[in-house]
Amino acid sequence: MKTGYVELARAQQERWQAAYEQHPSLHGAGASAAARWTAKLFGAAGIDDVLELGAGQGRDAFYLARQGFSVHATDFSESALHRLRLDAQREGLDDRVTAALHDVRDPLPPADATVGAVYANVLLNMAFSRTELRTLVNEIRRVLRPGGLFVYTVWSTDDSRFGKCAEIGDGLYAKDGFAGRFFDLDLVHELADRWELGGADPYEENGRRLWRVTQAKPAPLISS
Ligand SMILES: C[S@@+](CC[C@H](N)C(=O)[O-])C[C@H]1O[C@@H](n2cnc3c(N)ncnc32)[C@H](O)[C@@H]1O
């Protein structure tokens, strides 16, 4: 399955590239429900910098920037990031939104404990093995400052499409060339190992059932 995953990753990157080349506004211009909720959480926690993973064409990055956060947006699709950079300039948000090409299977670029918050909307349910998912959340914990927050959303096993698309192995499903995984609560809890799990909240958006998960990097106990 190892070689299979490399091939799958390459095919997924090409699939996303093609989708973004065909659709200049693939996910629409409005912020996701998760981004609107997350901005309030991060604001209340006094966070000012956000690393967004799988940012696509940047609809949520722009929303977070307009709420006052500085956002570093990454994705493995250059065509999505090209659109994001053009729109950031046009909207006058390029001082608050930076972008870089990055595949989350690779180590995250920031140094240890330098990031206030990480946000990933509908990224972790893409075509990752469970080992890749565990490695990614470990990387996220590494780059976060102690007490830093991680909010992610994923497709839920309660979604009506679960079990209806073609299964391609290791719990991954595929449709129209896109592959992904539906999350149950066990997987959410597994990925929260060595984190403080703040919440796993079910919600619906565009007829899809998802989880919104909030977890914090534990801050070390200060002994007096
Ligand atoms: C469902 S879209 C969500 C985009 C964006 N978060 C939004 O809500 O508008 C998933 C995104 O994950 C990106 N992606 C998938 N696999 C990735 C990987 N291995 N590394 C980085 N980005 C990836 C895709 O290019 C796509 O932009």
Instruction: Give me the pLDDT at residue 3, please.
Output: 54
Is there a contact between 157 and 183 (Cβ–Cβ < 8 Å)? yes
Q: Is 56 in the pocket of ligand 1 (CB under 6 A)?
A: yes
Instruction: Give me the pLDDT at residue 5, please.
Output: 77
Top mutation candidate among 21, 53, 75 for ligand 1, by most atoms within 8 Å of CB: 75
Instruction: Give me the pLDDT at residue 1, please.
Output: 41
Q: Is 80 in the pocket of ligand 1 (CB under 6 A)?
A: yes
Strands 178-181 and 172-175: antiparallel
Nearest-CA residue for atom 16 of ligand 1:
126
d(CA 217, CA 1): 31
Give me the sign of the Cα torsion angle 186, 138, 148, 59.
negative
d(CA 221, CA 224): 10
Residue 12: which region, alpha, beta or left (left: phi > 0; alpha: psi -120 to 50)? alpha
Going by C-alpha positions, the residue among 62, 63, 107, 111 that lies closest to residue 87 is 62
**Torsion angle, CA of 9/15/16/19, rounded to 10 degrees?**
180
Is there a contact between 155 and 210 (Cβ–Cβ < 8 Å)? yes
Q: Is the predicted pLDDT of residue 2 greater than 70, yes or no?
A: no
Token code pair at residue 139: 């990387």
Give per-residue pLDDT as tens, 199-224.
Answer: 999 999 999 999 999 999 999 877 65
Residue type, 79: S
Token code pair at residue 115: 């990031």
Indicate the helix (H) or strand (E) that contains 73: strand 70-75
Top mutation candidate among 7, 16, 21, 64 for ligand 1, by most atoms within 8 Å of CB: 16
Domains and CATH numbers, the chain: 2-216 (3.40.50.150)
Atom index in ligand 1 nearest the CA of residue 103 equals: 20
Q: Is the predicted pLDDT of residue 95 greater than 50, yes or no?
A: yes
d(CA 199, CA 113): 22
What angle is formed at CA 172 by the lines to CA 36 and CA 107, rounded to 5 degrees? 65
Q: Is the predicted pLDDT of residue 29 greater than 90, yes or no?
A: no
